[in-house]
Amino acid sequence: MKKKCIVTGGSSGIGLSIVKLFLANHYRVINLDIVDSGVGEFHYCDVTDHAQLQTIVKDIAAPIDVLVSNAGIHFSATIENTSEADLLKVFNINVKGAYSAIQAVLPSMKAQHSGAIILIASDQALIAKRNSFAYNLSKNALASMAKTTALDYAEFNIRANAICPGTIETPLYHQAIDNYCQRSGADKASVHQEEAALQPLNRIGQPDEVAELALFLASDKATFITGSLQVIDGGYTAQ
């Protein structure tokens, strides 16, 4: 029987790369998203709707071997420029969505006495960046969620870890660069080169590289890894 993996936000960027790689490694992959990429089994799901997510996961049925909680949004603003509505939107998707997904899969994982939970956090779970109040806060919350879940469910042989990507070339990355260029009049190619130069490895990371780390953390090769923050940032946070 194929192992079963649920991915939230698996229709683009890092999430899509994770779906494709797990499929290639003979997992049954269920993508919970609001847009169908046509890859893997798709279930429409708004992760901010706790009851909807719980119902979908229950319908998928046990056993659930892996959860990759990837759904999230980026938001750039200082604390002064972050409205209450902005803050709630970021937290509803980035934090509440992860909370709901983890809570939904735990009964299955507890019953089978095994499971791997992987949260896609950010290098901003370790460091601060300018103009990133709400996003940074949400990613720190995911790091905490991975640690507390790891401790609370270790007795059930359930592992929880957070992946902390740095600058990765995803549609969200290009959207952020485009928005900056529209505001500033900067040249996109130049901005992209400047971003690459900020990384010690002198390049932007790729979604497939993050997917490989997720696959490793889900595998039997990582059975003694739990409660960790796995940084994949080209050395950025080591500076």
Token code pair at residue 141: 């919350």
Distance between CA atoms of residues 195 and 140, nearest Å: 23
How distant is the alpha carbon of residue 122 from its chain centre?
8
Q: For residues 73 and 90, give the distance between their C-alpha atoms in angstroms, rounded to a whole number.
A: 7
Mutual orientation of helices 133-153 and 97-112 as an angle, nearest 10°? Answer: 10
Determine how many CB atoms are found less than 10 A away from the CB of residue 187: 11
Show which residues are catalytic.
135
Collapsed DSSP state (helix, strand, coil) of residue 143:
helix
Identify any residues that bridge with 66 across adjacent strands, giving them in sequence order.
Answer: 5, 116
Task: Tell me whether the omega of the peptide bond preceding residue 63 falls within 30 degrees of 0, making it cis.
Answer: yes
Strand, helix or coil for residue 39:
coil
Give the helix, strand, coil percentages of the chain, each rounded to 5.
Answer: 50, 15, 30
